[in-house]
Amino acid sequence: MSETSFPMNDLLRRKLQTSLIIISLTSCVAATLFLLLFSEKIGFGISLMVESKLTAGFSTIFSRFIIFSGLLIFVVGAVIMSFMVFVMMSQKVRDIGLMKAAGCPNDLIFGYFMTELLVVTLVGCFLGVILGIFADFASTSLFSSFGFQIMQKPINFWLVIIVFAMFFALALIFGAKPILDTTKVKPAKAFSPSYYFGVSKESGFRVTSKSGLTMKIALRSLSRHKSATIRIIICLTAVFLLATVGIAGGIIADQTTKNWIEKAVGRDIVLIAHKDMCSQYKLLLSRFYETEESTINYTDERYLVSEDILNRLGSMPNISGVDPRLVTEMHVEELQGYIIEEYKEVGDSRKGNSLVIGVEPEMVLTDCFLEGEFLKENRSWEAVIGDSLALNMFSVPLSQRLNLHGEDFVIVGVCLDPINNGNVTYVPLKNLQNITGVLKPNIVMVKTDPSADHIAVLNSIRTEIKDLNSEFEVLDLNEVLDKNLSFVGYIWSMIMFLPLISLFAASLCLIAYVMLTITEQRQEFGVLRALGANPKTIVKIVSGQSLVVLLSSCAAGIAFGIIITLLILIPEPLITSFTVAEISAWLLTALAATFIFSLYPAIRFAKKPILEIMT
């Protein structure tokens, strides 16, 4: 018998076992490669898509999510792969023991089984790569046919090679370990049923007598197959961690970021300004999701809002607030600041342009999410800057000042505001009027009474304004707000799509685990059937094992996922009872789907004739 004929014959004669392992390895490699290739398009592609869009604060949150998800996807794939190879080789431990007992030298045994491992790993990884590329192509085509924009780009072959090489190496490392371990144990021990497949000699724990027979068998099997059980739990924990970050994190981030936008733009806010100013303001807000550029002379006299308009708006019914603003674009200069606690100066005197908005602090209708505080009525020469401006032009903004047209302003807050992509500076209206010499506002924002019919109030404002100045328009900011919110929702929904694929990979992994435990316990299941157990009992035992594994890993994965989401990924998250219900529903659905999926081999197995099970 040559060194290759034994392994090949062994693999070919154990068709079921060999094909099961190859399918599992193929699935893992394919799922991971597909995740990486596809996420490069929809996930990392988001980074490219939002380039020069969003604000710095929003981009940071998106980037963190994408990078974290990408890392987790790879880790999950590697863990799944190592688990599968470990189980495969652990099942061969008994054969190795038998061969040793028959007098076969260690190096020959090692050669046989390493060859088997190499063949299976090579075939599994190769097929996985092919399937992964095909799945990526099919998904992209499918998405395109549904009208979703997925970036069309050639396959990143470096990624393919890296995935293949890493998984191949991992498979060899994790697969070689059980072979090496077994060559060290005594033959009698190696082929003892209590040794192979990681079965420990003592059960280690007792189940109470009241617990059902099925759970008793299920739990003891799990506790005895410690190595395999711990590995599958680690594997599924990583998957559920990814799923939680994607689902729970995605939902929380989606609602939190939408809430920030809604507070910054304002709900039921109406803009009254010259038609050019209306277009420009709309464009400034749209820069959150479009890259169109346009500039106008903000201080053109035609754009200024007359006292008549302000007075008329102030006297109209169903209007809960009037917020006059002077919008302009100015040259901004960073001024050095001093951090007292650290005895050091900060700031590089950077210069740039910013949208500058003069507001009357007590009349501001919007409420940005901010660090620090907003402008106060009785204080002047203070400024609140947008997050992009803060990130790009200031070192420690809240300890610094900025210069506008020769005047210094103390920065008291940094806000998340989608207008002009966060490149914005809010200053008191009077100060801006002094600097620019423009004594009237060029836009007015009014908030309609929430209890009134928004459209009706909007129409009455339109009528009033048309009478006063036909060049002026009334713009309903709800439309722009909804577009901003849709854009954010679209991005999050794509990020949340990633864990769905991981869950599919996890289900495959769990199926493989269930199949392997069934294979290992098939004789016993046959006995149970022969002694009067009906097929449902077998399904109950296997489903009990799956459930314990799933619930343990789910609890750990979800707990870590929530902690990571809330403590690392999203600052000041918005969590309502609806959010909790939505997240719970999604995660329970994921859990249930994975569980049901994993029952397939048990149901199929239970239908087999008893003699087929026992032989």
Partner 1 sequence: MKADKTVVLASDLCKTYEIGDAKVEVLKDVNLKVGKGEFTVISGPSGSGKTTLLNIIGGIDKPTSGKIVVFGDDLGVKDEDFLASFRCNKVGFVFQSYNLVSTLTVAENIAFPMEWTRKPENYMKERVEELLGVVGLQHRAEHFPFQLSGGEQQRVAFARALANDPPFLLIDEPTGNLDTKTSLKIVQILQKLKGNGKTVIVATHDDRIIQLADQKLYLEDGKLVSLNE
Q: Which residues bind partner 1 (CB under 8 A)?
A: 192-194, 201, 203, 209-210, 212-213, 216-217, 220-221, 224, 523-524, 526-535, 537, 609-611, 614
Of the candidates 263, 233, 423, the residue with the CA atom closest to the CA atom of residue 330:
423
CB of 532 to partner 1, least distance (A): 2
CB of 610 to partner 1, least distance (A): 5
- Report the residue number, 12 or 340, with the smaller CB distance to partner 1: 12
CB of 12 to partner 1, least distance (A): 15
383 near 427, Cβ under 8 Å?
yes
- Report the residue number, 154 or 532, with the smaller CB distance to partner 1: 532
Nearest 10 degrees: Cα torsion 378, 379, 381, 385: -110
Q: Tell me the three state secondary structure of residue 354.
A: strand
CB of 199 to partner 1, least distance (A): 8
Q: Show the 3-state SS of 110-137.
A: HHHHHHHHHHHHHHHHHHHHHHHHHHHH
CB of 217 to partner 1, least distance (A): 5
CB of 544 to partner 1, least distance (A): 12
Q: Tell me the three state secondary structure of residue 273.
A: strand
Q: Tell me the three state secondary structure of residue 358.
A: strand
224 near 548, Cβ under 8 Å?
no
- Report the residue number, 108 or 188, with the smaller CB distance to partner 1: 188
Report the interhelical angle of 106-145 vs 93-101 (nearest 10°).
160
Residue whose structure tokens are 């239908």: 607
Beta bridge partners of 337: 346
Of the candidates 296, 256, 244, the residue with the CA atom closest to the CA atom of residue 275:
296
Residues in the chain: 615
Q: Tell me the three state secondary structure of residue 415.
A: strand
Rounded CA-CA distance 261/47 in Å is: 19
- Report the residue number, 206 or 302, with the smaller CB distance to partner 1: 206
Rounded CA-CA distance 429/364 in Å is: 11
CB of 536 to partner 1, least distance (A): 9
CB of 524 to partner 1, least distance (A): 5
- Kindly state the tokens that stand for 100: 């040793």
Nearest 10 degrees: Cα torsion 74, 77, 79, 82: -130
Residue whose structure tokens are 């780009």: 153
CB of 613 to partner 1, least distance (A): 10
How does strand 351-359 pair with strand 319-335? antiparallel
CB of 88 to partner 1, least distance (A): 22
- Report the residue number, 170 or 528, with the smaller CB distance to partner 1: 528
Phi-psi region of 271 (alpha: psi -120 to 50; beta: other; left: phi over 0): beta
- Report the residue number, 195 or 298, with the smaller CB distance to partner 1: 195
- Report the residue number, 220 or 275, with the smaller CB distance to partner 1: 220
- Report the residue number, 214 or 594, with the smaller CB distance to partner 1: 214
- Report the residue number, 228 or 357, with the smaller CB distance to partner 1: 228
319 near 457, Cβ under 8 Å?
yes
Residue whose structure tokens are 């719970």: 584
- Report the residue number, 334 or 520, with the smaller CB distance to partner 1: 520
